[in-house]
């Protein structure tokens, strides 16, 4: 399991920078983290329940709370705070960013949804 050596939030750009002990580094936009939240609200309880979260282009992160030695809870300014981002999940989000982001944009388009708030 990769372990972060640094987790740093750039509030101005709304990007979470995560560096791991294996040397990998990722810059994860808040919008991406919000729409890929591991919470049941987003992921559901099985794959068929996954939600496509729209309108989060301008979402920010207001807090980062440690959860034991294995994860952080991210608090978003849209009041979403129920996702616990494990180290493995953060590494997965970083390594799979391009594929996941393209799938998200496709899901928005197929549902006639927008990244912009209503």
Q: Which of 80, 47, 38 lies closest to 63 in space, CA to CA?
A: 80
How many angstroms separate the CA atoms of 37 and 93, rounded? 10
pLDDT tens column, 46-84: 878 888 999 999 999 999 999 999 999 999 999 999 999
pLDDT tens column, 100-113: 999 999 999 999 99
Is the pLDDT assigned to residue 40 strictly greater than 80?
no
Domain boundaries, given as residue ranges, for the chain: 4-110
Q: What is the CATH number of domain 4-110?
A: 3.30.2020.30
- The helix (H) or strand (E) run that includes residue 35 is helix 30-35
Q: What ranges in 36-96 are assigned the alpha helix state H? A: 40-43, 87-95
């Amino acid at each position: 399991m990769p372990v972060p050596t640094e987790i740093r939030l750039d509030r101005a750009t709304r990007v979470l920078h995560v560096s791991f002990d294996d040397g990998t580094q990722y810059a994860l936009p808040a919008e991406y983290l919000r729409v890929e939240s591991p919470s049941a609200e987003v992921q559901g309880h099985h794959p068929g329940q996954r939600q496509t979260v729209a309108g989060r282009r301008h979402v920010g992160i207001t807090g980062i709370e440690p959860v034991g030695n294995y994860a952080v809870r991210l608090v978003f300014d849209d009041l979403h705070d129920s996702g616990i981002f494990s180290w493995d999940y953060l590494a997965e989000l970083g390594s799979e960013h391009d594929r996941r982001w393209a799938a998200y944009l496709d899901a928005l388009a197929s549902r006639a949804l927008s990244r912009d708030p209503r």
